[in-house]
Amino acid sequence: MIGQRGGTRTTRVKRFRDGTARSRKDTLAVEEPLEIRVSWVEEGERRVEAIAVTMRTPGHDFDLVAGFLHVEGVLGSADDVAELTYCQGPDEQEYNVVEARLAAGTTFDLGLVRRNVYTTSSCGVCGKASLEAVESAGCELLPEGLTIDAGLVPQLPERLLEDQAVFERTGGLHAAGLFDTTGARHVVMEDVGRHNAVDKVVGYELLARRLPARDRVLVVSGRASFELVQKAVAAGIPMLVAVGAPSSLAVDLARRFRLTLIGFTRNGGFNVYTEPARVV
């Protein structure tokens, strides 16, 4: 589901197989920087701040920005953003800078956003501080109610893969998708960054006014990091299913907010690390 711009390009490679070399075309996943800006009116004047730069696969950029800003506490709902737009260059439209123009009356803590973004990209920030940062952002405990059949869980990564069109051509993208408890795909996004793929899913749901997503399951193609659990919690998603392993801090955060965290979902099995009562 790569939209707005193409997510691939081709190059020529020399391929070695069985002692024979042949020249052929190969398809690459595109990776380009995206600068995220926020603008708002303060005391009658418009302010613009660059919040972050992320390396991403072009496509669904507005969803990516909306999801990122929701997780960082800038956007509480779709009503908080008046417009998402590519910034205009002197000669043509610049597709690697997106500005979120906030609706009148929308407020946020710029200092907190800067600290959170710095924390995310830094080494050496302790786990306790990271957990407290999520709590200070106003995330709530995830409600009970959602349950899923244990026999369905191992099928979810395969159903995610069925909608990974760019991965099929390149082998170089992560994916994230929302599913309901019957296993039906709701939305799938791809990106070179696993965190970007989740932001695209969260932003898509935010702009469609479907957050919190209390009746959905988030499935990711790689491991379950602290960041991905944080994004699921912020979006109100009560279950995260990962193909790979979770980190220790991801488990701590999932336990703190009562998220069901599942890892090593492959070969017909899986591990439930937190809140196993949702798996029946």
Contacts of 79 (CB under 8 A, 6+ apart): 103
d(CA 108, CA 96): 24
Active site (annotated) includes residue 139: no
Given 87, 123, 126, 139, the catalytic residue: 123
The 3-class SS string of the chain reads CCCCCCCEEEEEEEEEECCEEEEEEEEEECCEEEEEEEEEEECCEEEEEEEEEEEECCCCHHHHHHHHHHHCCCCCCHHHEEEEEEEECCCCEEEEEEEEEECCCCCCCHHHHHHHHHHHHCCCCCHHHHHHHHHHCCCCCCCCCCCECCCCHHHHHHHHHCCCHHHHHHCCCEEEEEECCCCCEEEEEEECCHHHHHHHHHHHHHHCCCCCCCCCEEEECCCECHHHHHHHHHCCCCEEEECCCECHHHHHHHHHHCCEEEEEEECCEEEEEECHHHEC
Q: Which residues are catalytic?
A: 123
